[in-house]
Amino acid sequence: MYTERSMRSSCWLAVLAAGLALGAVSIVLAPHGRRAAAQTPAEQTPAEMSQARSIADQFSQLFEAASQKVSPAVVPIFAEQTVAMTNVLGGPEDPFRQFFGDDFFKRFFGTLQGGEQSKQTVRSVGSGVIVSSDGYILTNNHVISGAEKLTVVMEDGKKYTAKVVGADPQTDVAVIKIDGRDFPAVDLGNSDNVKIGQWVIAVGNPFQLLHSVTAGIISAKGRSSIGLAAYEDFIQTDASINPGNSGGALADLDGNVIGINTAISSPSGASAGVGFAIPINMAQRVMEALIDKGKVTRGYLALVPQDIDDNLANAMKLKSTEGALVGDVTPGGPADKAGLKRGDVIVQYEGQKIKNSTELRNQVAQTAPKSKVDLAVLRDGHEIQLTATLGERPVEGGEKTQPEQEQAPEMHQKLGLEVQDLTPDIAQELGYGDDRGAGVASVEPGSPGSDAGLRRGDLIKEVNHKKITTVREFTRALADSHKDDTALLLVRRGQNTFFVAVEIP
């Protein structure tokens, strides 16, 4: 069922196509190869108007056919959860909540604070995609997370209680199931083959407007660092995605699902033409693991990769910023056993070029544990070949916060850093044990150190590959640096070690 907005969108697309067609058929070659001026609609002959209308109708029919194929298998998922509620903005009596729906507030505002609280049943709505005739449904983890009851409503209004098969918060993918047979199911496409600029439709249930279809194009591929999941490789689209669309289908004009709609990027919480979908190839791999094993296992190299910016590339004398720089290697882990070292740059994984740390992380995660993988690595300006046997990635937890340090009197004006020697007590407090270096006591805002990403509590262990254990050694190591040089620092933060390039002002 189309909403009024969707019908208006389809009409505008038809008008656009008609306009393009009218322009196309009305341009004729003038003598000597010059183009004649385009005719106005009033100047079109009946035959030309008929041809333009035919092209517009064919264009519209592509969207109609794709929508008819996908829509029956994209269902609303109503999640019920008992939570503590307050009668403030976003509370049950708030008219904005009644208009936008619970999923809007749950997704974008979280749990409300303040005022008297009472336990109430909250019902939010998201979307799901039926992928098999026996009732398996692919959706987002955040749609079903914490729900005590899940209800799926078919296009004919029939309701089914769903059970959770499995969920993977690391990719925000979940699988649920309803009992029955002969359910309408989508055809899954190949997200590796999608093209930027390709027309797509987004099907879901925005703002509880069930079974809505919007249209747009693919704006970008391989979007990461969005902050929505641990493993990100999103398809970006300008097809309208709103709260409630989460878990719905992003499909091509052949009606093949190429992505699972996940989120939007918008300061207002409503669609601003920047939406993100999980590529169906990634979602399908996770889904199959959840159905077969009830969990997802991922490959593990046991290293800390980082991106390479221009400063790092200059400091390390690299020809480009492509690749994943190895900031740290876990002793005894798969990477260590394979011979990888801190400062290596991984440029290929199983023959595939690696552009950045996110790409490496995703590739490793998608490889089964115990697999042997070939790596091409840059070390000291030369490319070497290594083979690693992957381990199994442990369950990932949150990052530990670091205690603050007392300030020390010495200030390194050039970099905007105040550093101090680590006493055994401070090292123990920060969790650095017997490790030594120059401890960062403070960072001046807007300074080169701040621009490089250094933080209070960091431990500087090396300068330009020279090991340091005291502030004096840190100062001496920087003494040879000149204006516009780039200092390469090895920094420890918590349990992670990584490189930082700092420009000398």
| Active-site amino acid positions | 142, 172, 246
Question: Residue 353 carries which side chain, given as an amino acid letter?
Answer: K
Q: Name 160's bridge partners.
A: 152
**∠ CA 220-23-56, rounded to 5°:** 65
Strand, helix or coil at 5?
A: helix
**What residues contact residue 182 under an 8 Å CB cut-off, 6+ apart?**
133
Token readout for 159 is: 């309701």
Per-residue CA distances from 343 to 147, 324, 370, 436 (Å): 45, 10, 25, 19
Residue type, 167: A
Angle between helices 4-26 and 46-70 (to 10 degrees): 140
Q: Minimal CA–CA distance to 244: which of 218, 228, 262?
A: 262
CA 386 to chain CA centroid, nearest Å:
29
Where helices occur in 71-200 by DSSP H, the ranges are 95-100, 102-108, 141-144
CA distance 254 to 307: 37
CB 324 within 8 A of CB 306: yes
Element (H, E) at 418: strand 417-421
Residue 195 DSSP label: -
CB atoms within 10 A of CB 311: 19
> Cβ distance 486 to 313 under 8 Å?
no
> In angstroms, rounded to a whole number, what is the distance separating the alpha carbons of residues 258 and 250?
6
Distance CA 343, CA 218 (A): 37
